[in-house]
């Protein structure tokens, strides 16, 4: 069974101010996890899956950067393959990577594109987000898909959060009411319906259709399941689309996220007098690691979990840190420093990732933070649980705790912040809802005044891929 | 609570059970006009015996049998039964609750009498089960330890949703907490053959639950373990009539009661069923005979005088059965003492009571023949119930019918499918309440049951009997006939039975639904917080919303006309909202409607122009919205409502929707009721843009807003 894989490189609404929601941001797919763009993890996973064809779906803003990254990745891959090949004579299996620019706000359009252009020569496809991290091999998913019943036209994957993040007001992990149940014909789990919490809140009621209770008398409704964004589909879906051309119009796909379309298909399966094609449903087992980096707390946590593993590996392998000079910077085994970064005397780095070409001054304390590339940190700065965007300058004696600092920002001498998001002043702040304007790369100084209401706006529709936007 | 503790101590010493003998339904008419439901024979044993047997096994010490319809018969039966002997495992008392008109009344009567001393078992007198009660009781105790508010454990049996012993008239969905089995919600579900609706679940109920399980495949036999609080709650809520759709649902959704209900699911191998209709009567009887309910099987001889023995192929016979040599007894058959079956007759999948005389060449299949029935030669009885002492003359054919006590069917008659016969016409109007309280619902709907005196047409010149017809049944008969033809062809044994009795069942649910409908219109007697259990009308929910819309609009209009102050109007609206249980969206819609009408009134009477009228009304009454808007999207919703209301027009001459919309928004904006961001959000929404023509006058205002915003930034 061969799949054509599509990786959706979305805008990263939840990752503002580091994503391209802000003009200074990078494409979400390129945000670093332990100094590697997160997309590389996904591409590695695709390599493991032996997908013959992988297409990255990008938009105008991110196309250039992502294609550069993809070339870089291909180069690395070729090098690795070459090295492997010399050791092992088996023929190298190559994946065909490509990039496709689809300018759309909603992931559902991808499905329309597939519907119209076809997925020839393969009969199956898989849609992946660019932001997931898992230790579960792709074969598990493929096997689940292969075991689906004939009636299933797809397989949607959900997961439960296993990260230990305090989630007040369920902002990090949006609540959805996911309905799933076992089919009496073939004991496999089916997706039946999804409602978002906002929808339920708006109507002040959770609707349960009685038709469904007859079809699936033993339905489970979970509030804890999160959408993994991974969807395995078969070409049969397009037959359904083609059979109902009035319903599945271009407009239908243009304004719906992918999950909503799958939800509609799932509803369709039981609401008719005759049972229709169903959507299989897979929940990632709790023992596996799976999470999606679609907001800043998870980005932080993702980096940390890599660091933790690194620390465990290092301590197990028994490699002791080389003896260092008395005043040299202290870098814990649970930290990672990028190439060409310089650390000053008596600087202490714990549980922190530092990107490339950073200049860290003396007596700096970095704890549990993520520092991206080209950052300059002056003496006596203390950062705790902060994410610092690239090209940021933090002047001496600043103390930041639980802060996010947007790229290009300059933090003045002796600033003290707790739990703030420090944004660069740019023209886009003026425009409603952070719509993209002409890229204003103006560096700003003294922009310590917060544009709070702007931030609120971002959080208001802070649900991953805008799954349930109205 | 000191007294409660004392009761818990008592609990170990005595364990009480309450048996409800009256379901207050008329589904077994006309049989229940003579015999109470709990004394109907199932496999030749009165139904209540199965219930009492279960109670004996459950370790109950005291049984109270609550009687209302035919109370005298039940009392007489109990007094002469084996349960009054000194060897009986429990003491049994009949409680005359003659005034009861519903299960709720019975519960209140129970509370008044102060019989309850501790946790008790509540069952109805028509239950057939072999469940292991100790496991359920252990579950109940365990839950009670963890949850002080626990008042009721329902014992439910998982099965397929289409299980034949699962009454589809009363089918209901249970929403349970997946981890704790706490019942979150209960709602009746329309039968699968009727239009489907949706059930609204209040998100507040789901707040502290992570995973719910929604089940429509549970057989609910109304076997409940209750705490003494249950009758008290019935007492406090005098409008509760039904155990499930009023009481359970009421307790679960009430903000005041704050009690919890748990569901104990038996393991799939145990059997539990209630005989609630002809359909389930058939299913349960077959199950008992086919030994699904082991050890409750006929040869156990629940009645001391019985002497059934088991033979191959599920054939049960008493001692003195006279069978002609050439008669054929097929599988799944029980035959009582003193019955005689002559040459060439065949019986299969049927029960025959005592002292019956079956003539020659009679065919009896899938039927239930009670005691003392005489069937002459060459008759065909198929899928029918023949009550006590029925006489059938030769060559008659009875298919899919119910023949009441002492009826005589004449020679060569062919009864129409789905007919019900009674000996004497049932005088609905003059009948005392006491004698027919099992059919109390019908009386409320009187004269829903008409008795047509056409006995000769039906039973023949040599027959005795009348056709029992209820008017809705007549309307339904065509449908049921066609259904019979469609479904009757299935040949599997179980499904065949099921399909045929479905006929009777259909008229059952029509009784239920029609009478409910009527009752709703006639009185609001059942207007507790629940929807009636068997209300299938599709428009049911929207009906309530309509009611609300009308009343709310009236309320606001009244307030405006009488110039009440805002707080009074708000209080009234809020009360209305809570009593009707609608969302704020409806409240807003109603308010917008009322205000727009008022504007229309001003304009059409020529008192004021569009602009002045709008400003005046919204200046003084717009603040109503302050207490109806809670979140940003509510404002957008309000604007959308305004737009659609203005667009719909129809408020008299001179009403200019464009102008009204503009000034309404303007006024709301000036008074800081809606924010400019929301106005823009509304303006940019697709929904709003869809009806662009109404927005004409507002364009400039929006432009102005946008400009103002840019400048201020």
DSSP, residue by residue, A313-329: HHHHHT-PPPP--TTSP
In this structure, the strands spanning B182-188 and B260-265 are antiparallel
CATH homologous superfamily, domain B302-423: Hexapeptide repeat proteins (2.160.10.10)
pLDDT value at position A322?
Answer: 60
pLDDT value at position A93?
Answer: 60
* Rounded Cα distance, A224 and A235, in Å: 30
Give the chain A residue nearest B680 (alpha carbons): A432
Q: CA torsion sign, B253 to B254 to B260 to B266?
A: negative
Convert the pLDDT of each residue in B91-117 to its tens digit.
999 988 888 888 888 888 888 888 888
Q: What angle do CA A417, A418, A421 make, to 5 degrees?
A: 80
Asked if residue A344 lies in contact with residue A362, where contact means CB atoms within 8 angstroms, the answer is yes
Which residues of chain B form CATH 3.90.550.10? 11-278
Helices (H), A244-280: 250-254, 258-271
> What is the torsion angle, in degrees rounded to the nearest 10, for the CA atoms of residue B126, residue B130, residue B133 and residue B139?
-100
* Rounded Cα distance, B496 and B490, in Å: 6
pLDDT value at position B6?
Answer: 43
Percent share of chain B, pLDDT over 70: 81
Mutating which of A167, A184, A204 best tests the B interface, going by the most B Cβ atoms within 10 A?
A204
Q: What angle do CA B577, B578, B579 make, to 5 degrees?
A: 95
Residues paired with B62 in a beta bridge: B16, B91
A203: closest CA of chain B, how far (Å) = 7
Q: Please say if the pLDDT value at position B430 is more than 60.
A: no
* Rounded Cα distance, B500 and B164, in Å: 12
Convert the pLDDT of each residue in B226-263 to its tens digit.
999 898 888 888 888 888 888 888 888 887 778 889 99
Question: Token pair for residue B708?
Answer: 């103002």
Q: DSSP character for B85?
A: S
Q: Please say if the pLDDT value at position A116 is more than 50.
A: yes
Interchain CB contact of A283 with B (< 8 Å) = no
Interchain CB contact of A210 with B (< 8 Å) = yes
Domains of chain A in start order, with CATH, are: 3-297 (3.90.550.10), 322-422 (2.160.10.10)
Record: contact A208-B214, CB cut-off 8 A? yes
Q: Which helix (H) or strand (E) holds A233?
A: strand A225-234
The yes or no reply on domain B11-278 and CATH 3.90.550.10 is yes
pLDDT value at position B485?
Answer: 34
Interchain CB contact of A206 with B (< 8 Å) = yes
pTM over 0.90: no
A225: closest CA of chain B, how far (Å) = 9
ipTM above 0.85, yes or no: no
Convert the pLDDT of each residue in B374-425 to its tens digit.
999 999 999 999 999 999 999 999 988 888 888 888 888 888 888 888 887 7
Convert the pLDDT of each residue in A325-349 to its tens digit.
667 788 888 888 888 888 888 888 9
Q: pLDDT-based confidence at B546, cuts 50/70/90?
A: low
Q: Which residue has the higher pLDDT, B513 or A411?
A: A411
Which residues of chain B form CATH 2.160.10.10? 302-423
Give B-chain residues touching A206 at CB under 8 angstroms.
200-203, 206
Q: pLDDT-based confidence at B363, cuts 50/70/90?
A: very high
Percent share of chain A, pLDDT over 70: 85
Give the mean pLDDT of B525-547.
Answer: 45
* Rounded Cα distance, B136 and B141, in Å: 9
pLDDT value at position B506?
Answer: 37
* Rounded Cα distance, B400 and B382, in Å: 6
Interchain CB contact of A76 with B (< 8 Å) = no
Asked if residue A225 lies in contact with residue A176, where contact means CB atoms within 8 angstroms, the answer is yes
Q: What is the CA radius of gyration of chain A?
A: 24
Convert the pLDDT of each residue in B289-332 to its tens digit.
988 888 888 888 888 888 899 988 899 999 889 999 999 999 89
Give the mean pLDDT of B132-145.
Answer: 90
Give A-chain residues touching B633 at CB under 8 angstroms.
202, 470
* Rounded Cα distance, A104 and A58, in Å: 9
Q: Please say if the pLDDT value at position B456 is more than 90.
A: no
Q: Please say if the pLDDT value at position A448 is more than 60.
A: no
Q: Please say if the pLDDT value at position B531 is more than 50.
A: no
Asked if residue A433 lies in contact with residue A455, where contact means CB atoms within 8 angstroms, the answer is no
Query: Cis omega before residue B407 (within 30°)?
Result: no
CATH number of B500-712: 1.25.40.180
Interchain CB contact of B210 with A (< 8 Å) = yes
Q: CA torsion sign, B494 to A274 to A142 to A91?
A: positive
B364: closest CA of chain A, how far (Å) = 35
Q: Which of B198, B215, B584 sits opposite A218 (nearest CB)?
A: B215
| CB atoms closer than 10 angstroms to residue B483 | 16
Mutating which of B193, B209, B212 best tests the A interface, going by the most A Cβ atoms within 10 A?
B212
Asked if residue A325 lies in contact with residue A342, where contact means CB atoms within 8 angstroms, the answer is no
pLDDT value at position A231?
Answer: 92
Give A-chain residues touching B217 at CB under 8 angstroms.
217-218
* Rounded Cα distance, B536 and B518, in Å: 13
Of the candidate ranges A449-458, B215-224, B331-340, the one whose mean pLDDT is the lowest: A449-458
**DSSP letter for each residue of A388-454:** E-TT-EE-TT-EEES-EE-TT-EEPTT-EEES-EE----GGGGSGGG---S------SS--S--HHH
Q: pLDDT-based confidence at B539, cuts 50/70/90?
A: very low
Least Cα distance to B298 among B338, B339, B336, B354 occurs for B336
pLDDT value at position B63?
Answer: 92
Mutating which of B204, B216, B584, B688 best tests the A interface, going by the most A Cβ atoms within 10 A?
B216
Interchain CB contact of A221 with B (< 8 Å) = yes
Q: Which residue has the higher pLDDT, B500 or B77?
A: B77
Q: Please say if the pLDDT value at position A96 is more than 50.
A: yes
Give the mean pLDDT of B592-618.
Answer: 80
Cα–Cα distance list, B419 to B122, B386, B395, B467 (Å): 35, 12, 18, 7
Interchain CB contact of A184 with B (< 8 Å) = yes
A394: closest CA of chain B, how far (Å) = 28
Please, how many CA atoms are within 13 Å of residue A394, restricted to the half-sphere of its CB? 37
B505: closest CA of chain A, how far (Å) = 19
Convert the pLDDT of each residue in B656-713 to its tens digit.
778 888 888 888 888 888 888 888 888 888 777 777 777 777 888 888 888 776 665 5
pLDDT value at position B339?
Answer: 92
Asked if residue B407 lies in contact with residue B389, where contact means CB atoms within 8 angstroms, the answer is no
pLDDT value at position B478?
Answer: 35
Mutating which of A178, A201, A221, A223 best tests the B interface, going by the most B Cβ atoms within 10 A?
A221
Helix (H) and strand (E) counts in chain B = 21, 36
**Mean pLDDT over all residues of chain B?**
78
């Amino acid at each position: 069974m061969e799949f054509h894989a599509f990786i959706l490189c979305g805008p990263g609404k939840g990752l503002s101010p580091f994503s391209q929601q802000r003009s200074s941001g990078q494409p979400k797919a390129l945000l670093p996890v332990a100094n590697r763009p997160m997309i590389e993890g996904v591409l590695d996973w695709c390599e493991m899956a032996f997908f013959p064809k992988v297409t990255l779906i990008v938009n105008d803003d991110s196309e250039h950067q992502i294609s550069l990254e993809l070339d870089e990745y291909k180069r690395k891959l070729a090098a690795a393959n070459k090295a492997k090949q010399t050791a092992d004579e088996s023929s190298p299996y190559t994946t065909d990577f490509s990039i496709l620019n689809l300018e759309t706000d909603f992931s559902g359009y991808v499905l329309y594109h597939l519907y119209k252009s076809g997925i020839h020569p393969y009969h199956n496809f898989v849609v992946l987000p660019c932001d997931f991290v898992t230790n579960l091999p792709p074969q598990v998913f493929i096997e689940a898909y292969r075991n689906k019943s004939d009636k299933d036209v797809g397989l949607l994957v959900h997961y439960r959060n296993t990260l230990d993040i305090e989630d007040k007001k369920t902002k990090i992990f949006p609540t959805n009411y996911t309905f799933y149940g076992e089919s009496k014909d073939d004991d496999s789990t089916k997706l039946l319906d999804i409602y978002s919490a906002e929808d339920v809140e708006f109507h002040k009621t959770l609707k349960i259709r009685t038709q469904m209770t007859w079809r699936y008398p033993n339905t489970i409704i979970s509030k804890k399941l999160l959408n993994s964004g991974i969807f395995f589909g078969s070409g049969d879906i397009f037959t359904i689309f083609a059979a109902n051309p009035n319903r599945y119009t271009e407009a239908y796909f243009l304004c719906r996220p992918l999950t909503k379309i799958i939800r509609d298909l799932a509803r369709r399966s039981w609401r008719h007098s005759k049972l229709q094609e169903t959507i299989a449903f897979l929940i990632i087992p709790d023992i596996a690691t799976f999470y999606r980096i679609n907001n800043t707390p998870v980005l932080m946590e993702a980096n940390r979990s890599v660091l933790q593993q690194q620390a465990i590996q290092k301590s197990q392998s028994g490699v002791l840190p080389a003896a260092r000079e008395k005043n040299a910077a202290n870098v814990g085994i649970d930290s990672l420093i990028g190439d060409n970064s310089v650390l000053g005397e008596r600087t202490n780095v714990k549980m922190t990732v530092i990107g490339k070409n950073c200049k860290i001054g003396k007596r700096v304390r970095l704890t549990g933070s993520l520092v991206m590339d080209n950052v300059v940190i002056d003496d006596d700065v203390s950062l705790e649980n902060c994410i610092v965007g690239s090209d940021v300058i933090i002047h001496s004696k600043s103390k930041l705790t639980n802060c996010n600092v947007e790229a290009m920002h300059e933090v003045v001498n002796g600033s003290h912040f707790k739990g703030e998001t420090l944004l660069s002043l740019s023209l886009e702040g003026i425009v409603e809802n952070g719509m993209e304007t002409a890229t204003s790369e103006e560096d700003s100084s003294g922009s310590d005044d917060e544009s709070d209401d702007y931030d609120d706006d971002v959080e208001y529709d802070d649900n991953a891929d805008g799954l349930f936007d109205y | 609570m000191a007294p409660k503790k004392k009761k818990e101590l008592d609990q170990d010493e005595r364990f009480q059970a309450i048996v409800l003998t009256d379901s207050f339904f008329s589904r077994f008419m006309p049989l229940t006009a003579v015999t109470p439901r709990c004394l109907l024979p199932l496999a030749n044993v009165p139904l209540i015996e199965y219930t009492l047997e279960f109670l004996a096994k459950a370790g109950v010490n005291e049984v109270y049998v609550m009687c209302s319809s035919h109370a005298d018969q039940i009392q007489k039966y109990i007094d002469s039964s084996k349960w009054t002997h000194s060897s009986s495992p429990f003491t049994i008392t009949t409680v005359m609750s003659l005034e009861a008109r519903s299960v709720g009344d019975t519960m209140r009567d129970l509370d008044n009498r102060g019989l309850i001393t501790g946790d008790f078992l509540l069952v109805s007198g028509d239950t057939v089960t072999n469940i292991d009660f100790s496991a359920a009781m252990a579950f109940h105790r365990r839950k009670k330890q963890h949850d002080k508010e626990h008042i009721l454990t329902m014992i439910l049996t998982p099965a397929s949703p289409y299980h034949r012993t699962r009454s589809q008239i009363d089918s209901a969905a249970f929403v349970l907490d997946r981890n704790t089995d706490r019942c979150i919600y209960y709602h009746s579900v329309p039968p699968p053959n009727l239009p489907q609706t949706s059930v609204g679940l209040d998100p507040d109920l789901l707040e502290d639950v992570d995973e719910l399980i929604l089940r429509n495949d549970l057989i609910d036999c109304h076997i409940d373990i209750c705490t003494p609080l249950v009758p008290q709650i019935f007492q406090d809520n005098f409008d509760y009539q039904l155990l499930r759709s009023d009481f359970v649902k009421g307790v679960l959704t009430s903000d005041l009661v704050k009690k919890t209900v748990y569901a104990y699911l038996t393991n799939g191998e145990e059997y539990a069923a209630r005989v609630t209709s002809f359909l389930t009567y058939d299913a349960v009887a077959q199950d008992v005979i086919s030994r699904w309910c082991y050890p409750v099987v006929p040869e156990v001889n629940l009645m001391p005088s019985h002497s059934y023995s088991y033979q191959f192929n599920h054939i049960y016979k008493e001692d003195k059965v006279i069978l002609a040599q050439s008669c054929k007894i097929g599988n799944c058959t029980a035959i009582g003492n003193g019955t005689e079956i002559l040459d060439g007759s065949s019986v299969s999948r049927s029960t025959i009571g005592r002292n019956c005389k079956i003539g020659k060449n009679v065919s009896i299949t899938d039927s239930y023949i009670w005691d003392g029935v005489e069937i002459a030669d060459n008759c065909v009885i198929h899928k029918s119930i023949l009550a006590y002492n029925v006489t059938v003359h030769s060559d008659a054919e009875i298919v899919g019918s119910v023949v009441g006590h002492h009826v005589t069917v004449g020679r060569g008659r062919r009864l129409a499918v789905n007919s019900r016969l009674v000996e004497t016409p049932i005088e609905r109007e003059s009948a005392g309440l006491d004698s027919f309280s099992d059919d109390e619902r019908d009386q409320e709907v009187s004269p829903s049951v008409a008795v047509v005196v056409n006995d000769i047409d039906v039973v023949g010149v040599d027959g005795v009997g009348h056709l029992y017809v209820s008017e809705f049944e007549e309307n339904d008969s065509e449908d049921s006939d066609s259904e019979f033809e469609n479904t009757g062809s299935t040949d599997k044994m179980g499904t065949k039975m099921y399909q045929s009795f479905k006929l009777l069942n259909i008229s059952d649910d029509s009784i239920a639904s029609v009478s409910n409908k009527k009752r709703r219109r006639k009185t609001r007697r059942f207007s507790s917080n629940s929807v009636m259990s068997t209300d299938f009308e599709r428009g049911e929910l929207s009906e309530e919303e309509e009611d609300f819309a009308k009343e709310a609009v009236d309320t606001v209009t009244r307030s405006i006309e009488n110039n009440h102050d805002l707080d009074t109007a708000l209080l009234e609206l809020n009360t209305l909202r809570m009593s009707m249980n609608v969302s704020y969206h409806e409240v807003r819609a109603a308010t917008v409607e009322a205000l727009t009408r008022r504007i229309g009134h001003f304009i059409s009477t020529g008192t004021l122009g569009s602009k002045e009228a709008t400003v005046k009304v919204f200046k003084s009454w717009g603040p109503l919205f302050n207490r109806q808007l809670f979140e940003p999207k509510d404002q957008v919703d309000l604007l959308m409502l305004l737009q659609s209301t203005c667009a719909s027009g129809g408020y008299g001459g001179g009403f200019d929707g464009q102008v009204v919309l503009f000034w309404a928004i303007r006024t709301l904006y000036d008074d800081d009721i809606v924010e400019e961001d929301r106005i823009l959000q509304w303006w940019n929404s697709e929904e709003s843009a869809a009806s662009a023509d109404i927005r004409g006058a507002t364009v400039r205002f929006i432009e102005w807003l946008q400009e103002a915003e840019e400048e201020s930034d």
